[in-house]
Amino acid sequence: MFGYIRTDTPELRVRENEYYKAVYCGMCRAQGKCTGQCSRMTLSYDMVFLALLRLAISGEDPTIKTGRCIAHPFKKRVYLDFCDSLAYCAYASALLVWGKTADDLNDEKGIKRLKARLTKPLAKRMRKKALKQYAKLDEQISNGLQKLAEVEKEGLASVDAPADRFGELLADILSFGVEGDNAKILRNIGLHIGKWIYIVDAVDDLNGDLKNERFNPFICLYGAQSLDEDKKRAVATSLKLELLAAEPAFDLIEFGENPNIEGIIKNIIYRGMPDVADRVLELDGKTKRQGKKTSRDKTRKVK
């Protein structure tokens, strides 16, 4: 996905940080097992967050193991053993990568289109493996991306309209295959976190979109100009409101005997995501830190 949903690592407890690293590495291994070794390069913080939520809702408590991998051949790393929640998120990630690649091929130009063309063979192979398990999910993602594209093409003077569509897409992904109250909890979280991601991404991309004359909802809303301080503050407030709107759903999750997941999720929601938003908006003297990182950069951060 995008890589904006991060922990505030210095504020994590030691055991929480170790567990987060285990989930991260477990997701990486699950992607290699489910959708091919090369798919591990597409791992993002956002999918690790989704994996944490699915683990919390399902009540799964996989064993934490240690082992070496291609990225870390000389030192053993902790990782979460393969389980249904990690497998689902690996397949969902593959389908999202394909959807994003196909979308960029249709709508982008220049470097972004070239990148999509180079990514297409890998994304196609990943999707092929995921389709064997989750054809229905692929249909939902395709429909969700189509609805988002249609709203963006309308060019409405609104950020909420396309953000709502992306929120609905993430809600579908997060709650897929879950029933009852747990599905409602995940849908609510997906709706608001999806909107938060879309808005932060739009702000992060604004200057580049202005330069290259690409679509951006803030351009439709404010014209061809960067956001001034007042507008940045207004966006920051709307982002905080999205997190507050999701808070009741987080409070309904029964974390059971795994307090590590609860501590990590609270750290992400109350510290990590607000910090990312402030940095993208360049508020309170914080230097902008690009949200989208390569797999190597992301792995380095988790060490």
Question: Which DSSP category does 152 fall into?
Answer: H
Q: Which residues pair with 66 in a beta bridge?
A: 78
Of 128, 89, 71, 130, residue with least CA distance to 1: 89
The CA-atom distances, in angstroms, between 11 and each of 30, 258, 270 are 27, 18, 11
pLDDT at position 11 is: 96
Q: pLDDT tens, 6-31? A: 999 999 999 999 999 999 999 999 99
Per-residue pLDDT of 187-221, as tens digits, reads: 999 999 999 999 999 999 999 999 988 899 999 99
Confidence of residue 186 (pLDDT cuts 50, 70, 90): very high
Q: Sketch the domain layout of the chain as residue ranges.
A: 9-302
If DSSP codes are grouped into helix, strand and coil, which group holds residue 52?
Answer: helix
Instruction: Return the higher-pLDDT residue of 285 and 197.
Output: 197
pLDDT at 300 over 70: no
DSSP of 84-141, one letter per residue?
Answer: HHHHHHHHHHHHHHHHHHHHHHHH--THHHHHHHHHHHHHHHHHHHHHHHHHHHHHHH
Give the pLDDT of residue 287. Answer: 66
**What would be the CATH architecture of the domain defined by 9-302?**
Orthogonal Bundle (1.10)
* pLDDT score of 74: 84
Quick check: 148 and 165 in contact, CB under 8 A?
yes
Cα separation, 144 vs 57, in Å, equals 24
